[in-house]
Amino acid sequence: MLKLLFVTDVHGSNVCFRKFLNALPLYKVDVGIMLGDLTGKVLVPLVEKSKSSWECTLMGQHVDIETNGELEKIKKTIENAGYYWVHQTREEFDAMKTDPGAIDALFKKLVFERVGEWLALADERLDGKPYKMFMAPGNDDWFVIDEMIDKAKMVHACDNRVVDLDGHEMVTSSWSNPTPWQTPRELPEDELEVKLEGLCKQVTNYERAIFNFHVPPHGYSLDLCPKLDENLVMSAEEKIHAGSIGAKRMVEKYQPLLGLFGHIHESRGAQKAGRTLMVNPGSEYSEGILKGVIVMLDKKKVKDYVFTSG
């Protein structure tokens, strides 16, 4: 029997990444799979008011920081929410506001530093352990992330390839259908379907296969999210299906044993598509909560699964 832990969409949250590493021996799994999005989206400048006080805007609220103890606490809050912080003088802050290129360069630098810290920590924690960790980016992640994962010693890259998990072939895709945010890894549905088809055709035994796609299949319960208006404001009442038609066709055509999906944070759950068990563990990364699912596979069947949260 193969026992795996699957998580997705940690979006830069330090505490969620550390919880994942801690969960591998805790749940006594054989394999841990972390599927993108790996990186966060928010930069929080900590602006000096004096040599011993700062201010920032965090989650829409102005925060005055009056002691070093408060500063360390706010830094941890920022990191655990998946955000990034930087110390700046008032002059540096005012200058950067008028320079989008400088903001982008600083943000990417901090993003790549955190991913590097994660991979170094994972290499340290996983060395000599009986379980393996696989990692892939998501549609939000820049392509530099792939290069960083490839260089890790104990973290195994799995995007756009077939990997063997104790006789189960797993194919992974980090791409999605178009989103309103024009992220780095998006394709029109027809092109995405061709890409997924080329990947899935490499599998030799679909009865034991695992499809590990960041984007869930369209039209199932795993891809429901609030409808957005023209200003990208979420509806409180209306939901739509935002998954991929290409992913849907691949699952329904090839009927793998298991489908692992993410992307839509709100759609935590499990559903069958023919013989295929499909799961989306959901994400509450900004609250520092790691959502996951443990799946037990026994040759040609899913023996059991259980959702985790903590």
Amino acid in the structure at residue 227: K
In 3D space, the residue among 74, 83, 36 whose CA is nearest the CA of residue 54 turns out to be 74
Which of 83, 106, 129 is at the close of a domain? 106
pLDDT for 232: 84
**Residue 235 and residue 287 share a domain:** yes
**Residue 151 and residue 97 share a domain:** no
pLDDT digits (tens, 9 = 90+) for 180-204: 999 999 999 999 999 999 999 999 9
pLDDT for 129: 97
pLDDT digits (tens, 9 = 90+) for 14-65: 999 999 999 999 999 999 999 989 999 999 999 999 989 999 999 999 999 9
Integer CA distances (angstroms), 23 to 168, 210, 305, in order = 22, 21, 16
pLDDT for 237: 84
Average pLDDT, the chain: 97
**Residue 273 and residue 134 share a domain:** yes
- Cβ(308)–Cβ(23) below 8 Å: yes
Q: Tell me whether residue 247 is in a domain.
A: yes
- How many domains are contained in the chain? 2
For residue 184, the domain's CATH number is: 3.60.21.10
pLDDT for 12: 98
**Residue 124 and residue 101 share a domain:** no
Provide the pLDDT confidence category of residue 291 given band limits of 50, 70 and 90: very high
**Residue 211 and residue 82 share a domain:** no
pLDDT for 229: 87
pLDDT at 108 over 90: yes
Please state, in angstroms and rounded to a whole number, the distance separating the CA atoms of residues 74 and 68.
Answer: 10
Angle, to 10 degrees, between the axis of helix 100-126 and the axis of helix 144-151? 20
**Residue 130 and residue 79 share a domain:** no
Q: Tell me whether residue 294 is in a domain.
A: yes
pLDDT for 234: 87
Host domain of residue 122: 2-39+117-309
pTM summary value: 0.96
**Residue 222 and residue 169 share a domain:** yes
Which of 106, 135, 161 is at the close of a domain? 106
Backbone angles phi, psi at 116, to 5 degrees: -60, -40
**Residue 32 and residue 83 share a domain:** no
**Residue 8 and residue 130 share a domain:** yes
Beta strands in 51-181 (DSSP E): 53-58, 61-65, 84-88, 132-136, 155-157, 162-165, 168-173
pLDDT digits (tens, 9 = 90+) for 123-163: 999 999 999 999 999 999 999 999 999 999 999 999 999 99
